[in-house]
Every structure is written in C-alpha cells, then in structure tokens.
Amino acid sequence: MSSKPSHKEPAESRLRRTLAFRLAAAYSLLGLLLVLLATASLYIVLRAELDRSTGLFLADKLNVLRTILRERPDDRDALREEIQLETAARHYQQFYIRLLDDRGAPILTTPGMANQLDVAELVRRTRNGPEHSVSLTGFLGRPFRAASATAWAGSSPARRDTIQIAIDISQEVELLRRYRRWFWAIMLTSSVLFPLLGYWIARHGIRPVEQIAATARSITSTNLRERIRAEGYPSELASLAGTFNEMLDRIEESFERISRFSADIAHDLRTPVHNIRGEAEVALSRARTVDEYREVIESTLEEAVRLSELIGDLLFLARAERPLTELRRERIDVGKLLSAVRDYYEASASDAGISLVADEGAAPVTVEVDRALMLRAVSNLVSNAIAHTSAGGTVTLAARDEGSAIRIEISDTGAGIPPEALPRVFDRFFRVDPSRSTTSGGTGLGLAIVQSITTLHGGQAEIASQFGHGTSVTLRIPVLATS
Ligand SMILES: Nc1ncnc2c1ncn2[C@@H]1O[C@H](COP(=O)(O)OP(=O)(O)OP(=O)(O)O)[C@@H](O)[C@H]1O
Ligand SMILES: [Mg+2]
C-alpha cells in the first residue's frame, strides 16, 4: 500500500531520492571543487612565477648595462657588443634595449626596435628603477614586458643616461593560454567522469543493502530458514546483515512456538472431546441401567469441566496478552491471601501427607494488586507444589516486603525439575513429563498463567529447582509509587 504513491512520482524525483544519487552528487561536487582549487591555485602560482622571473631578468640586464656604463663610460663598442650579443643570440624571444642621454636623445638602439614598439609609450609608461616592470603591447600585437633605469656614466655625476629595456613575453602568455585551455578540458572531462564514476562507486557500495532488502522481501512463512550470507560485505553492512539474521532467528523461533502452541491446543481439546464421544457411543451401543447412564453422564461432565477449564485458561492467556488489560487493583494483605490459599489446599495436602506452611513473616506485607488474579497465581503454584511433592514433604508459602517490591515465594521439598527442562517450564503447554501429568489433569498452562499475571503487575516470576530436592518459585511484584 505504502509503495502506491511512489508510482505516480516522476522518475527523475525518485532518482534524486536514491542514496546512490546523493552519494554520487556529493562525490562529484567534492571532486570538481578539488580539481578547481588545485588547478586554479597552480595557475596563479605559475603566472606569478613567470612574472617574477621576467622581472628579475630585466632587472639583471639593467644592472649589467649600468655597470658597463659606470666602469667604461666612453667605451660605446663594449656597450653595443653587449646589446647586440644579447639580442642576436635570441631566436624566439625578441629583446630590445635603448640608451638615451640626459636630454632624451637615443645614443644606442637595438635595430628594428621602433618597428616593434611604440617608443613614446615606452618613455611614458616605464618608471624609473629596475624593479618596476610594466606590460606593453607591440605594434604587431606581441606582448612585452619593459623596464627602465637611470645609469651614471663614469664616476662623475655630470652625465646621467637612461636605459630602456623590453622583452617579448609571448612565450609565457602562450604557455598560460595553453594552461587555461587544459584547465577547461580537465574541468569538462571531470564534470562528466566524476558523476559517472561516483554513481558507479555508490551503486557498488550499496549493493549489499539491496541484497539484504531482496532477501527480506523474499522471506515468507514458508522459507523462514533463509539467511543473508554476509561474506565479503564491509563490516558495517555485515553487522546489519547479522542483526537481520538474528531477527529472523527470533521470528523463526516464535513462529515455531506459535505453531507448536496451536498443535498443542488442538491436541488438548481433542482428547476430552474424544473421550466424551467414545463414552457416549459405548453407552448408546445397547440399553443401559439408570446407574450406568448416570456414570456415563458423570464422566462426561468431568470431561466437559476439564474442557471448559482449558478453554477458560486459553481465553485468560489470550486476554492477558493484550497490552491494555485492566487490573482491578486493591490494597491487600499478602499474608492473609497466603493463609486463605493454605486453608483451601489444607485438606488435599494432608490427604497426600504433605504439610502446608504459611510463613507470614514479622510485619504484615501489603500491596496494591488485583486480588482475584493474585489468588489464581498463588493457587497455581501451590497446586503444582503439592502435585510434585511426595508424602512427608513440606510446601511453604512466604511473603516479604523489600521496599520497592514485594516477594512471594512458594517452595517445596518435592521432586524438583531437571535443569534442562527448567528454562521451558513457563512455556505454554510445557510439561516435564507429559504422560504422567496428563493423568493428573495438568495441561501445562499453570505456570504460563502465573507468568502473565506477574507481568500484568509489572513484576517477574523466577523459578529455581534442585532435581530431587525441591523447587521454589518467586514472584517479585513492584510496589506502585503513591503520589
Ligand atoms: N513445584 C514443582 N515441582 C516439580 N515440577 C514442577 C513444579 N511446578 C511445575 N513443575 C513442572 O512444570 C510443568 C509445568 O507446570 P504448569 O503448572 O505450567 O503445568 P501443569 O501443572 O502440568 O498443568 P496445569 O497447571 O495447567 O494444570 C509441570 O508439568 C511440572 O512438570
Ligand atoms: Mg500447574
């Protein structure tokens, strides 16, 4: 039913809600962001480095020329040679130098400089000092970096020349352009590749979850034995699969218990009905005396009583299982309740040669409980104790106040329960020795009823037994907090 509305949902919005989509989106956004950050910062560093090395080159060159001018002010040839050597050696990078006297008239110029560069702009834009370089665009569109510096000719401060220097930086500009082109190519590839890869990784990662879901979907009451094989799963999902398997174990166990329970009910209902039917058939097979009919009716009545008791017990257990079963709580004296039970069973206990003792303790123990239910629980325990204790034994009924709870303990010196059967005695229809108990009329519901009555009161029932030496059942009922 709940999956119905999703059919109407557009496929796109359904995809957007899948875990794989969200993971893939997160991966790719993160990946793209990282690539962007890395490439952009590399670009910035590269550009700054190129600028810096060009600037250093220009400054170096200016310093060399300044030194020549200062050391040999009139050796024009040395200067020309230096300029020509520098420019002639370069094939791919144009390099221009101009030397001006203090009136601004050019003394020396690299040939062809005026064709490439707007010399007036060079004069206007370059500032004095080797460390200040500026960018210029030549006549043919080539990018240049230029700088200028004052140079003292000789040691006398009388003559002050100016050196202007410009270098073609189209290689660097081209390098940066290629870098940008690569940057966009990488970003484009990443933005296609990352989502695809991310989606694949996410799908791969959550495949075990889908397998778990598929197993869960395929399990019905007929294949409750199926389990998820978690080999090779990552540990988180292996633990999820383990939890799921444990849940299946529990479901399987309760399922088995329920089906055993129904089989037991059917069996226990069938026996008395079978007996009634058999006796009626035998009685009707020929004419009978009045006494014989009376006997049959009496035995039929006995079976009918057994049957109605059994049905009553089953109804009680079914009702007690509903969470909001109401308790008619009243304050009772537990000691008095135990005495009443003892009085009720007194006769049958003394017939069996068992002494029945109600240990009322020093102070009266009072508690707010449903009197009728508590009476039923204690009666069930005492009848069990008497049934499993032989002549000469003792059955003790005791109550103690523990402050936050009261404790009712019914102990006997009887046959005890074998340890392997002890954990199951509170189960419905469980009897340690079914053959013997059937003759004594037990159905195996007594302790189950005791337990549900205790649970209804918010308490716990515990059993301890030493096989061959006796059994003791303790009911711990919490005292209601009075406001
Ligand atoms: N005090 C006891 N000493 C020895 N065995 C006991 C004692 N109390 C219970 N048992 C064992 O536990 C089984 C379950 O007890 P329970 O009271 O639930 O069923 P029952 O007495 O057989 O039947 P019912 O009480 O429904 O008539 C009993 O069949 C008996 O074997
Ligand atoms: Mg019983």
The answer to whether residues 30 and 162 belong to one domain is yes
d(CA 175, CA 182): 11
Please tell me the number of the ligand nearest to residue 390's CA.
Answer: 1
Q: pLDDT at position 5, please? A: 47
Total domains in the chain come to 3
* Residues in the chain where the model's pLDDT stays below 50: 1-6, 436-439, 483
Residues in the chain: 483
Domain for residue 226, yes or no? no
CA 261 to chain centroid: 36
The answer to whether residues 82 and 207 belong to one domain is yes
The domain boundary, picked from 256, 289, 319, lies at 319
Domain for residue 239, yes or no? no
d(CA 406, CA 338): 13
The answer to whether residues 309 and 404 belong to one domain is no
Please identify every residue whose CB atom is under 5 Å from ligand 2, which is an ion: 384, 446
The answer to whether residues 210 and 261 belong to one domain is no
The answer to whether residues 290 and 157 belong to one domain is no
The answer to whether residues 296 and 333 belong to one domain is no
Domain for residue 229, yes or no? no
* Residue nearest atom 19 of ligand 1, based on CA coordinates: 444
Q: pLDDT at position 263, please? A: 86
Using DSSP bridges, classify how beta strands 405-412 and 470-478 pair: parallel, antiparallel or unpaired. antiparallel
Q: pLDDT at position 113, please? A: 83
The domain boundary, picked from 286, 319, 352, lies at 319
Helix (H, G, I), strand (E, B) or coil at 348: helix
Residues 139 and 118 sit within 8 Å (Cβ to Cβ): yes
Which two structure tokens, joined as six digits, stand for 440? 């004594």
How much is the pTM? 0.57
Residue in 415, 436, 414 with CA at minimum distance from that of residue 356: 414
Domain span at 290: 248-319
The span from the first CA to the last CA of the chain, in angstroms, equals: 46
d(CA 261, CA 479): 33
CA 419 to each of CA 32, 129, 243: distance values in angstroms, whole numbers, following the listed order: 67, 103, 30
State the CATH number of the domain containing residue 310: 1.10.287.130
**pLDDT tens for each residue of 151-191:** 887 766 667 888 888 899 999 999 999 999 999 999 999 99
**pLDDT tens for each residue of 402-423:** 989 999 999 999 999 999 999 9
Distance between Cα 331 and ligand 2 center (Å): 27
The answer to whether residues 266 and 126 belong to one domain is no
d(CA 326, CA 271): 33
Q: Fill in the DSSP letter of residue 221.
A: G
Beta-carbon contacts of 321 under 8 Å, excluding residues fewer than 6 positions away, are 452
Residues with CB under 6 A from ligand 1: 380, 384-385, 388, 412, 414-417, 425, 430-433, 437, 442-448, 471
d(CA 23, CA 40): 25
The domain boundary, picked from 272, 298, 319, lies at 319
The answer to whether residues 406 and 434 belong to one domain is yes
* Residue nearest atom 7 of ligand 1, based on CA coordinates: 384
